[in-house]
């Protein structure tokens, strides 16, 4: 996928972060999701909505920010309870318990917004979820949509930390190889592997040169196999 200023330029054949993705695409990105019509739709992140109130409460504790935080925490408590349930059960629980809380929360946010000065810090905190309300509710109808984007951001953090090293990749081709390697390492983490141990186990199995060995293992949870050298040499 290629993105430009948040707009989808080209979409892959599968949804960017659909729950039915194959095992090698474990990461779920809560920004775009393919609809039944094939179009991409926004799915909101409650961690970002929470952050606006958390920053406000940290700087200047207020009962409004506190109540907003408590309400969002209730949503997260529900997610922890249903974490290991089936997709159907997750959706049922969200519809039954989260939906009425969110309906009440929405009405409360609108009331507080009407009573708050337009340029105040509290107003900005209230505006953030209200402007994105439809996107923030989409996780209720799709059990494969997580409540926030934290998992994806945690996967991207090592990339951001290593961004300075990318300045010295020396070529676009080398930068693409670096991206492929980072993808492998982060996939290993997602599937419960220590990347350094996985590399020590896998790399000695590869013969020198471009030859692709027959028993090359991607960092999957169990035994699924794929040509790792082929993946890297694609770049």
pLDDT for the residue 35: 54
Three-state SS letters, 84-147: CCCHHHHHHHHHHHHHHHHHHHHHHHHHHHHCCCCCCHHHHHHHHHHHCHHHHHHHHCCCCCCC
pLDDT for the residue 73: 97
**Which one is predicted more confidently, 138 or 190?**
138
**Average pLDDT for residues 47-74, to the nearest whole number?**
95
Indicate if the pLDDT at residue 91 is higher than 50: yes
CA 140, CA 10: separation in Å to the nearest integer? Answer: 27
Indicate if the pLDDT at residue 26 is higher than 70: no
For the chain, what is the radius of gyration of the CA atoms?
Answer: 21
pLDDT for the residue 103: 97
Rounded to two decimals, what is the model's pTM?
0.67
Q: For the segment 162-185, what is each residue's pLDDT rounded down to a tens digit? A: 666 666 777 888 878 887 888 888
Q: For the segment 116-130, what is each residue's pLDDT rounded down to a tens digit? A: 999 899 999 999 999
Instruction: Tokens 């952050």: give the residue.
Output: 51
Task: pLDDT band for 28, please (50, 70, 90 cuts).
Answer: very low
Q: Which helix (H) or strand (E) holds 157?
A: helix 150-161
Count CB-CB contacts under 10 A for residue 108.
Answer: 15
pLDDT for the residue 19: 31
Count CB-CB contacts under 10 A for residue 168.
Answer: 8
Q: Mean pLDDT, the chain, as a whole number?
A: 76
């Amino acid at each position: 996928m290629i993105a430009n200023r948040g707009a989808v330029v080209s979409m892959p054949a599968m949804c960017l972060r659909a729950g039915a993705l194959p095992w090698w695409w474990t990461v779920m990105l809560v920004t775009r999701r393919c609809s039944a019509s094939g179009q991409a739709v926004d799915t909101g992140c409650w961690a970002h909505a929470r952050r606006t109130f958390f920053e406000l409460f940290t700087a200047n504790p207020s009962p409004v920010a506190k109540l907003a935080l408590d309400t969002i925490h209730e949503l997260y408590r529900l997610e922890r309870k249903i974490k290991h349930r089936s997709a159907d059960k997750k959706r049922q629980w969200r519809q039954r318990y989260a939906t009425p809380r969110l309906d009440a929360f929405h009405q409360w946010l609108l009331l507080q917004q009407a009573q708050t000065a337009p340029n105040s810090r509290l107003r900005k905190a209230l505006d953030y979820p209200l402007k994105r309300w439809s996107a923030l509710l989409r996780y209720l109808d799709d059990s494969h949509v997580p409540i926030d984007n934290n998992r994806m951001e945690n996967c991207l953090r090592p990339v951001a930390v290593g961004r300075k090293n990318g300045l010295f990749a020396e070529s676009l081709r080398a930068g693409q190889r670096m991206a492929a390697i980072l993808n492998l390492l982060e996939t290993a983490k997602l599937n419960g592997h220590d990347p350094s141990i996985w590399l020590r186990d896998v790399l000695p199995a590869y013969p020198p040169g471009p030859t692709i060995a027959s028993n090359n293992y991607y960092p999957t949870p169990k035994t699924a196999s794929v040509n790792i050298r082929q993946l890297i040499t694609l770049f």
